Amino acid sequence: MDEHFWVHLLPWRQKDKAESKPDQIKLWPKLEICREKGWGYLELLLVNRSRWTVWVEEATVVLADLNAIRQFDTAAGRAIHEIRQNIWANDELSVSLTVAIYNGAGKPQGPYSCLVRTDVRYRVLEEWYFAKLETYRIEMAGLIPISLRSARWYEKKIEATNDPADHIM
């Protein structure tokens, strides 16, 4: 066989192809409650298991089925939390979404619950992508998260509310 045939198979000689990049990007978002020193935080954990640095622009939080007794403001049903940070290859980033959800719910003055879907907008090299989290049912009291449960059966209700893909730059 010709030696040129084998050279193009070497991994350091292969060029990154745009059509294969989405399969190789491994950015995993996860929503969880973190408790620390008596405080609770609703954290968005972003894990980058790809070989590229990922620029995370923002997280769009869409709220639906809000159940609150007293609110300080009118519920917007949506909040955008600017992140604007790099996540290096094989690294992770944790961001608190507590205030974004509280503001999007209209700053309730007591216990409240709602459905939450979070979409993360990020860029790898020159291409933009979205990472969509599953839908969760959240119960909070002011800024303190009480419980977080998966609510996959509500996906269609959230998608009908707002689609962040409409706001791509």
Pick the CATH number of 23-162 from 3.30.70, 1.10.3470, 1.25.40, 2.60.40: 2.60.40
**What does 54-89 look like in DSSP terms, one character per residue?**
EEEEEEEEEEEEEEES-BSS---SEEEEEEEEEE-T
Task: Count other Cβ atoms within 10 Å, centred on residue 49.
Answer: 12
pLDDT tens digits along 59-111: 999 999 989 887 767 777 889 999 999 999 999 999 999 999 999 999 998 89
* DSSP state at residue 127: E
Say whether pTM exceeds 0.75: no
Find out whether 65 and 115 touch, Cβ atoms under 8 Å.
yes
pLDDT of residue 19: 46
Give the start-to-end residue ranges of the domains of the chain: 23-162
